[in-house]
Structure 1
Amino acid sequence: MLDGNKTLVALDRLQLTRLIARIDAIPLFAHSYSHHLNMRFGDTSPADMLSFAHSHGLSGLCIHVDDGEGRSLSAMSPQERSKFGSDAIELNLTIHVETSSTSRADLADAIAVANDIGARSIRCYPRYEGSVSSVMTRTIEDFGHLDQLDPQQRLRFTLEQHEDLKSYELAAIARQSGNPRLSLLFDFGNMINAYETPDAALEAMAPLVTEVHIKDVKAGEDRGGWSQIACRSGEGMIDFPEMLCKLLLLGSDQAQIGAFALQEENGMLSPAFRFPDEGADPFIPWRAPSTTEPPADEPLMVRLEQERQDAARQVDYVRGVLADLREAAVIRLAC
């Protein structure tokens, strides 16, 4: 476990008091990607993800509309989705929906799912091919349709940094879109592919961040840039106490982050998209949504069991980091 004491050295008493209160009330969510292989190759369903979140005492579930293949929210009937939403309410779980696109058609589909299950938040990210400037322009245009797609304005939308755009470019998209219901989602590792460090990315995004994906990663050399290699929490490059402390302290009167989703991705590998010598307006290649493939040299059932264990372990690991941070803050306040 990393030492939380050094993280707290620069905090004043108000910040320490605020940190303790926000640790006590942190909205930890399960994330369906932590069971990605089980949802693709096993029999884990969205209902099973509700059970996982509830059994671990979490506040909610972030779930992609397509996770679960033929059992996914997208594949369900409106009546089945309504039952899923009712089950979540019964378990006192908040549901956030995710989709891997910003196109009008895909946002409309995600909004229909969200409305059926009673979700109030949709995460998205662009997957356009072209120059960075053209990707940004198209994404801003996509967000211009939000009020038409959600005329009752009941939904919030988060734009995730997802491997290709840099953090200041995402902030520019959110600001230029001009929609107060659009904010940013900070992922602990997705900036690596854009040749950014986690600290630099958070600094650029911080004023607009309202949701978080928690995971650990390593950076690999890739054609002069960095590939992202996801690993078990605590085994990579992320300073969890530092990162969680910074995120928890965002917002003055009230916490700025509404969901910290536990997204263990051990084994996920994605290539570099941005490079130090790329020029002013580099080209972004098209890519499919993120996926993780099971290792060829390991029996599938062994890998599925390992994924389930990793997901449960991450819950304990993050709670351990938070407990250590809280204890260190209490001790410093007593001095």
Structure 2
Amino acid sequence: MKTNIRQEDRRSFLKTSGLGIAALAFPFQLVPDYLKDVPMGVVVHSYGARWHSKVESSSYRGFQDALDLMAHCHQIGAGGIQVGVNGWQSDFAKKVRDQREQMGMYLEGSIGLPKSSSEVAAFEMEVKAAKEAGATILRTVCLSGRRYENFHSAEEFQAFKTQALQSIHLAIPIVEKHKIKLAVENHKDWKAAELAAIIRDIDSEWLGVTLDFGNNVSLLEDPMEVIRTLAPLAFSTHIKDMGVKKYSDGFLLSEVPLGQGIVDVKEGVKLCRKYNPAITFSLEMITRDPLKIPCMTEGYWATFEEMKGEDFEKTMAMVEKNEFKTDLPSTSNLDSEGKLAFEEANVLECLKVSRKII
């Protein structure tokens, strides 16, 4: 006898059964053929020096758009790209789609959230362009800066949270309409449990997470605990490894080539695949000066009412135990050509290592 199950009944069943969060995060889909055994892709931020670069270089020509980025990443053996879709017109989206299909690569978009109802129409145009190009996932962020730098009181952070939730709620009907996944990154704004609670409370099968493997070290969270918390909700990833080193006000934090830092990337990949067999792995190896995490200053703690002293002690003990053996990567002492060369070397090294773990 054929049984008809309404959508709301199906979701209720999933929540109370062993399928749980994993099925909600990746609802009854098989892995597409083009995603089977796909190599690691590259996030546009891995090429901060070359993206829209005005530097004249015969060896490291700048990438002016997604087509340039995709062509280069295909040449070096990457499986796809994650790139911003703002300003794409339909004709450009079709060019991206044609090149993507020819090269057999995956495409993930990066998109800004609408801040008010007046921005929803523009947001929808970008969603439609991304879908036209072949993207099935759109990564987004709620904060462009860093929590401990942007906000100086619990009230300021609460105002940000209110605005962020409003933006997500404005976006949800659009991505549901066009059947494209929206993935919110843990972007040095949300602690892992905070972001997980937001995603679960909103409860849309089209809303999930872009799981960044390293960002939350800056919020005194262990990378593997973050991955365990967010992997069940992850639609996409930012793969990275992190190096740490003490400094007077706390510790320094840098992206480093895979396998050289504190993140168990192989185990993180395994956990993500457990919950979402078709998840893509995209490298975000940002070549820059180390970030200062001033966790020994009073201002750092202004928005972390729930954080305990043991979080600080545990993190600083981890830093001391795992201090990077040499100076952390830096670019301020390099000329333009040197920065471009260093950036490319880091990306190539990460792709090389990824072939053993992805």
Do these two structures clear the TM 0.5 threshold for a shared fold by scoring above it?
A: yes
User: After superposition, what is the alpha-carbon deviation per residue over 1:260-301, rounded to whole angstroms, capped at 9, x for unaligned?
Assistant: 00221232544448756855279xxxxxxxxxx983432201
Q: Is the contact made by 1:97 and 1:110 (CA closer than 8 Å) also made in structure 2?
A: no
> For structure 1, which segment, 134-143 or 300-309, has the greater mean C-alpha deviation from structure 2 after superposition?
134-143
1:122 aligned partner: 138
Cα distance, 1:93 vs structure 2:
1.6
Query: How big is the alpha-carbon RMSD for the aligned residues of Structure 1 and Structure 2?
Result: 3.1
Q: Structure 1's 320 and 147: CA in aligned 2 closer, same or farther, altered over 3 A?
A: closer
| Aligned-partner Cα distance in 2 for 1:308–1:258 | 25
Q: Classify the secondary structure of the residue corresponding to 2:348.
A: helix
Q: Is the contact made by 1:211 and 1:257 (CA closer than 8 Å) also made in structure 2?
A: no
User: After superposition, what is the alpha-carbon deviation per residue over 1:47-71, rounded to whole angstroms, capped at 9, x for unaligned?
Assistant: 2221233234443211133xxxxxx
Cα distance, 1:27 vs structure 2:
5.7
2:102 aligned partner: 90
2:72 to 43, 52, 74: 52
Q: Structure 1's 301 and 224: CA in aligned 2 closer, same or farther, altered over 3 A?
A: closer
The alignment covers a number of residue pairs equal to: 278
User: After superposition, what is the alpha-carbon deviation per residue over 1:62-88, rounded to whole angstroms, capped at 9, x for unaligned?
Assistant: 1133xxxxxxxx355432232122211
Asked if 1:39 corresponds to 2:51, the answer is yes
Q: Classify the secondary structure of the residue corresponding to 1:62.
A: strand
Q: Classify the secondary structure of the residue corresponding to 2:49.
A: helix
| Aligned-partner Cα distance in 2 for 1:300–1:294 | 13
Asked if 1:299 corresponds to 2:320, the answer is no
User: After superposition, what is the alpha-carbon deviation per residue over 1:232-280, rounded to whole angstroms, capped at 9, x for unaligned?
Assistant: 22222222333333333x23xxx44511002212325444487568552
The aligned runs of 1:64-143 (5 Å cut-off) are 64-65=84-85, 74-99=86-111, 101=113, 103=115, 105=119, 107-108=123-124, 110-127=126-143, 131-143=156-168
TM-score normalised over the length of structure 1: 0.71
Cα distance, 1:189 vs structure 2:
0.8
Asked if 1:314 corresponds to 2:350, the answer is yes
| Aligned-partner Cα distance in 2 for 1:24–1:92 | 12
Asked if 1:168 corresponds to 2:187, the answer is no
Q: Classify the secondary structure of the residue corresponding to 1:61.
A: strand
> For structure 1, which segment, 119-128 or 225-234, has the greater mean C-alpha deviation from structure 2 after superposition?
225-234
Cα distance, 1:184 vs structure 2:
1.0
> For structure 1, which segment, 216-225 or 80-89, has the greater mean C-alpha deviation from structure 2 after superposition?
216-225
| Aligned-partner Cα distance in 2 for 1:212–1:203 | 13
Unaligned regions of 5+ residues in structure 2, if any? 1-34, 56-61, 145-150, 308-328
> For structure 1, which segment, 162-171 or 201-210, has the greater mean C-alpha deviation from structure 2 after superposition?
201-210
| Aligned-partner Cα distance in 1 for 2:183–2:330 | 29
| Aligned-partner Cα distance in 2 for 1:35–1:279 | 32
Q: Classify the secondary structure of the residue corresponding to 1:228.
A: strand
2:203 aligned partner: 178
1:25 to 12, 33, 37: 37
Q: Structure 1's 173 and 269: CA in aligned 2 closer, same or farther, altered over 3 A?
A: farther
Q: Structure 1's 62 and 199: CA in aligned 2 closer, same or farther, altered over 3 A?
A: same
Q: Structure 1's 226 and 145: CA in aligned 2 closer, same or farther, altered over 3 A?
A: farther
Cα distance, 1:200 vs structure 2:
1.6
> For structure 1, which segment, 182-191 or 200-209, has the greater mean C-alpha deviation from structure 2 after superposition?
200-209
1:144 to 160, 163, 169: 169
Partner amino acid for 1:39? Answer: W
Identity of aligned residues (%): 17
Q: Structure 1's 24 and 113: CA in aligned 2 closer, same or farther, altered over 3 A?
A: closer
Cα distance, 1:205 vs structure 2:
1.5
Q: Classify the secondary structure of the residue corresponding to 2:83.
A: strand
Asked if 1:259 corresponds to 2:280, the answer is yes
1:190 aligned partner: 215
Q: Structure 1's 183 and 75: CA in aligned 2 closer, same or farther, altered over 3 A?
A: closer
> For structure 1, which segment, 271-280 or 212-221, has the greater mean C-alpha deviation from structure 2 after superposition?
271-280
| Aligned-partner Cα distance in 2 for 1:294–1:225 | 18
The aligned runs of 1:242-257 (5 Å cut-off) are 242-248=267-273, 250-251=274-275, 255-256=276-277
Cα distance, 1:110 vs structure 2:
3.8
Unaligned regions of 5+ residues in structure 1, if any? 1-22, 66-73, 283-292, 323-335
User: After superposition, what is the alpha-carbon deviation per residue over 1:293-313, rounded to whole angstroms, capped at 9, x for unaligned?
Assistant: 983432201211221222122
TM-score normalised over the length of structure 2: 0.67
| Aligned-partner Cα distance in 2 for 1:135–1:222 | 29
Partner amino acid for 1:31? Answer: V
| Aligned-partner Cα distance in 2 for 1:82–1:107 | 18
The aligned runs of 1:2-17 (5 Å cut-off) are none
Partner amino acid for 1:118? Answer: G
Q: Which has the larger radius of gyration?
A: 2
> For structure 1, which segment, 106-115 or 40-49, has the greater mean C-alpha deviation from structure 2 after superposition?
106-115
| Aligned-partner Cα distance in 2 for 1:99–1:294 | 29
Q: Structure 1's 147 and 303: CA in aligned 2 closer, same or farther, altered over 3 A?
A: closer
